Amino acid sequence: MLCERKAMILICCAALLLSGCSGQQLSEDKKKNVSYTVVEDAEIPETLKNAIEEKKESPFKLSYSDKDELYIVIGYGKQSTGGYSIVVDDLYMTDTNMVFATTLKGSDEKVETEETVSYPYLVVKTEYIDCEIVYE
């Protein structure tokens, strides 16, 4: 009888603990859109250009701040052909993070692409905000 009572108390405590954990949810809801500008190669700061050049062989994610501006970079690594483009799906703030969502688009199958290696990457610039960047 004493063992059954201890077991029942243990089960009730475990159920309370587990229900408390499952009720906590991370708030990743979109709070506001972030305005940005796509940066042309000629306008990329030299320090950032060098970092991109070092990392371009493999997929990479970078951020770089230059006084009042934040540069966010996504690279998709070595691709066997050219003709790729990168689409910004979204750039927004949550309560705690900035979310940067992009998609790599291949060239149209009907259009012939160059048989040369490419290293697609995209640099966007926005106002500096001190927060973690989440890449999607």
Is residue 131 included in any domain, yes or no? yes
pLDDT value at position 17? 44
Q: Is the pLDDT of residue 67 over 90?
A: no
- Domain-embedded: residue 10: no
First to last CA, the chain: 55
The residue-averaged pLDDT of 5-33 equals 54
Give one DSSP letter per residue of 63-132, joined into a string: EEEETTEEEEEEEE--BSSS--EEEEEEEEE-SSEEEEEEEEEPPPTTS---SS-B--EEEEEEE---SE
Mean pLDDT, residues 92-110 taken together: 89
Domain residues for the domain of 108 are 29-135
What's the whole-number mean pLDDT along residues 104-109?
Answer: 79
Residue 111 lies in a domain: yes
Which pTM does this prediction carry? Answer: 0.75
Q: Total domain count for the chain? A: 1
- Residue at 61 is within a domain: yes
Q: Within a domain: residue 22?
A: no
User: Alpha carbon of 23 to those of 29, 35, 37, 96: distances in Å?
Assistant: 16, 34, 39, 19
Q: pLDDT at residue 124 above 70?
A: yes
Q: What is the pLDDT of residue 12?
A: 46
